[in-house]
Structure 1
Amino acid sequence: MTDRSNDQADPRGAIKDPDEWVTGDEPPTAAQESYLATLAREADAEVPDDLTKAEASKRIDELQEETGRGVSGAGGGAGPRGRGGSPSPRR
């Protein structure tokens, strides 16, 4: 039996390159589309209508950098790759 109580999870291990996503060729989620629209409006940028889920994720990362919404130095976006929502407030 292995004692895993001392193992530290690598947070970077949970982030997978969108090009490697099994569902990357699917249409973007509603949350991605909504967040892309918000970021594009703030960046005064255009977003193509025919993006895939993976392409939408990459474009979100780019627009986050442009608008200053991205997490600097973290190598990715500010949340799950599905994007779009803020966490619910804790009660």
Structure 2
Amino acid sequence: MTKAAQTTVEPDETNPKIDPKDTSNQIKDPSEWTTGGEPMTGAQASYLKTLSEQAKDPDAFSPDLDKAEASQRIDALRKETKRD
């Protein structure tokens, strides 16, 4: 084994993936997103359009939604179309 492959973690170092005090990677409500006010992503727009068509609810899609609004509508439509 090379020295690079023999990396060890000191016992006093915390691993953010398993540290229960580190909440930075937890799922947050879209209303709490720091980027929630930015325009929705292309992936969100595509998925939201598809879900709105499947739910036969064309008004669920609006190109003016921000990331947080799009996420909330996607969640609602996924439940409605049973795509959870």
So what's the TM-score if we normalise by structure 1?
0.63
- What is the percentage of aligned positions where both structures have the same residue? 49
Q: How many residues align?
A: 68
Pairing 1:27–2:27 present? no
1:57 corresponds to which of 71, 77, 80:
71
* Deviation by residue 1:42-75 (Cα, 9 ceiling, x = unmatched): 00112122111000000000000000002xxxxx
CA distance in 2, matches of 1:43, 1:16: 26
Aligned pair in 2 of structure 1 residues 9, 44: CA closer, same or farther (>3 Å)? farther
Give the direction of change, closer, same or farther, for the CA distance of 1:51–1:61 in structure 2 (3 Å limit): same
Runs (4+) of structure 1 exceeding 2 A deviation are 1-5, 7-10
Any unmatched runs of 5+ in structure 1? 71-91
Structure number with bigger Rg: 2
Q: 1:26 to 1:3 in 2, by over 3 A?
A: closer
Q: Which residue of 2 aligns with 1:37?
A: 49
Letter paired with 2:66? T
Aligned-residue CA RMSD (Å): 2.4
Where structure 2 has 5 or more consecutive residues not aligned to the other structure, the ranges are 1-10
Q: Counterpart in 2 of 1:48?
A: 62
2:12 matched residue in structure 1: 2
Task: Give the secondary-structure state (helix, strand or coil) at the position aligned to 1:14.
Answer: coil
